[in-house]
Amino acid sequence: MANDFFTAHKATLDRALEAIATREYWTPFPEMPSPRVYGEEAASQGQAAFEAFRNTNYPLQLDGATKTVGQERSPYGFDLNIRYPFVEANQLIEQSSLALDSWREAGPEAWVGVCLEALSRLNKRSFEIANAVQHTSGQAFMMAFQAGGPHAQDRGLEAVTYAWQEMSRTPALANWVKPQGKHDPIDMQKQFTVVPRGIGLVIGCSTFPTWNSYPGLFASLATGNTVIVKPHPGAILPLAITVSVLREVLSEAGFNPNVVLLAAHEADDQVAQQLSLHPAVKIIDYTGSSATGNYLEQHARQALVYTEKAGVNQIIIDSAPDIKAVARNLAFSFALYSGQMCTAPQNIYVPRTGIQTDAGHLSFDEVCAALGHAVERLCSDPARAVEITGALQNDLTAQRVAEAKALGLEVIVDSQPLAHPVYEQARTATPLLLKTDASNPHIMQEWFGPIIFVVATDSTEHSIELAGSTVIEHGALTLSAYTTNKDTATAIRKMAERSGVSLSLNLTGAVFINQTAAYSDFHGTGANPAANAALSDAAYVANRFRVVQTRWHTEQTL
């Protein structure tokens, strides 16, 4: 059955293998929430499915559940009031270990087959997941659909594809024949078996519950490990649905559904730590704060730990062929999900002497004004703007905006709430643009949320140097630059390669620094403190399994 799943999706896998090799555009999961693609009823059914979850016990039966937990509240202003089964950490480990016992024997085709079938079913439930993501993360609907649905599925499939590629590299059986001069050759059979590490733990975040969890989840599962999914207490539903789909596929394929378990828990308990430090947990995938990520890297020594943490994303403006297009592109990046993307830009470096543009030389203040104007324009229609900004996931982000205001810097554009046409209680905020100088130590930390510093530097050389040292010291997932000068572009690229951050050059159209495309763009480099791995590459998957060989003389009949 699991192998039937493999066969059914083999063509997609082969196409994905081609995509990660050429890194050309491709996806099997359409990103537009179109009735023609997903069906006429898909949108309403997805919303209905989401609504049906509210004010109920989530329909997931876990063995040994001792109580229910769940206090999710939509950033759009209402409680979800969904209760999830709670199972003690030691119980989860025990069940996962038991499930590993048979899962490990199933082999790569079965592991990958289950993953591919689950991704296909998750794709069909993209509207339901979009609602769940919207009302936990606060993303606007379109982003919740795309990033929470097809794009997350893409990143999941990408990880499965890399896993398959690495696992299928070693032949199942080899015949090794070594010449011995005049004597008979030594003739041996060698069998190679892919074996999993053990239990994988996936620790989700509240802002991208599916997108940031799927790579680790599917990478570990596709390589024969069992997985315990620990959602952020503020964003359980999207991963609960994901776990349900996986368990359904596992059961149909004849496996113990406990191969994938949900560790829903209260915000203030010890479950995350108990799971992370357990000797049976051999792989951890984590997205979240640097404090917790660094803690895991230091203390969860029994496991391979893959982390995505905080960083300071930067933009270097050296010169601009079309300053209005630059400002429009950046304003959108500032506003998109209110800066709550790990890829969102924060520090914008502009020489204090100003820059050359198509509109002539612009002073530093004029550049600030151009950026500010573009933000104001983008946010001028609240009903439209809120479909870009979405809502703030939690109060801490709202407080951070207030803290940034209290820094006493000159305000280019103030942050303000946006009236949501449907959800009056939505926690919204437009971008706050502040003017500051490169010597300000406050800019050398992540200000998660819609907080942007336009930073006066001595020169573009200074901007480049500052950006490079910031990546090395504080980490970054993205870097962007605008220049009309070829040598400057090269200098920036060299700095990016040395500091280990991916670079976007002169984005003025419909591509934004915040966004990466699966199968083509690597998310993170694994080469600076913001993330110790990239999504996805061979290094991300190759150590999640091992190969154990058995050899014997061919003449033996055993």
Residues 103-132 that bind a copy of itself (CB under 8 A): 104
Least distance in angstroms from the C-beta of 474 to a copy of itself:
15
Which stretch, 41-49, 212-220, 419-427, 520-528, contacts a copy of itself (CB under 8 A)? 520-528
Pairing of strands 479-482, 503-505: parallel
Which element (helix H / strand E) includes 190?
Answer: strand 183-196
Residues 174-213 that bind a copy of itself (CB under 8 A): 174-180, 186, 188, 190-193, 195, 197
Q: CB under 8 Å to 363, separation ≥6 — which residues?
A: 353, 354
Rg of the Cα atoms in the chain: 25
Q: Can you tell me which of 36, 40, 182, 301 binds a copy of itself, judged by CB under 8 A?
A: 301
Please name which of 277, 256, 261 lies closest in space to residue 65, comparing C-alpha atoms.
Answer: 261
Torsion angles phi and psi, residue 497, rounded to 5: -70, -35
Residue 361, interface with a copy of itself (CB under 8 A)?
no
Q: Nearer Cβ to a copy of itself, position 22 or 55?
A: 22
Sign, Cα dihedral of 415, 418, 424, 427: negative
Least distance in angstroms from the C-beta of 342 to a copy of itself:
17
Which stretch, 200-208, 349-357, 389-397, 508-516, contacts a copy of itself (CB under 8 A)? 508-516
Q: Can you tell me which of 256, 348, 500, 530 binds a copy of itself, judged by CB under 8 A?
A: 500
Residue 507, interface with a copy of itself (CB under 8 A)?
yes
Least distance in angstroms from the C-beta of 97 to a copy of itself:
12
Which stretch, 36-44, 53-61, 131-139, 535-543, contacts a copy of itself (CB under 8 A)? 535-543
Which stretch, 2-10, 59-67, 331-339, 548-556, contacts a copy of itself (CB under 8 A)? 548-556
Distance CA 345, CA 61 (A): 42
Measured between alpha carbons, how far is residue 129 from residues 87, 150, 401, 435, 539 in Å? 24, 10, 29, 39, 29
Q: Can you tell me which of 210, 502, 514, 536 binds a copy of itself, judged by CB under 8 A?
A: 502
Measured between alpha carbons, how far is residue 64 from residues 71, 229, 547 in Å? 21, 16, 34
Please name which of 488, 473, 415, 398 lies closest in space to residue 443, comparing C-alpha atoms.
Answer: 473
Q: Nearer Cβ to a copy of itself, position 9 or 197?
A: 197
Least distance in angstroms from the C-beta of 108 to a copy of itself:
14
Measured between alpha carbons, how far is residue 115 from residues 12, 162, 202, 279 in Å? 12, 13, 15, 26
Task: Count residues binding a copy of itself (CB under 8 A).
Answer: 71
Beta bridge partners of 50: none
Q: Can you tell me which of 504, 514, 530, 536 binds a copy of itself, judged by CB under 8 A?
A: 504
Least distance in angstroms from the C-beta of 335 to a copy of itself:
20
Distance CA 486, CA 468 (A): 19
Residue 169, interface with a copy of itself (CB under 8 A)?
yes
Residues 238-257 that bind a copy of itself (CB under 8 A): none
Residues 463-492 that bind a copy of itself (CB under 8 A): 483-484, 486, 489
Distance CA 250, CA 5 (A): 11
Which residue reads 């059961």 in tokens?
251
Residues 17-76 that bind a copy of itself (CB under 8 A): 21-25
Distance CA 244, CA 138 (A): 22
Q: Nearer Cβ to a copy of itself, position 31 or 117?
A: 31
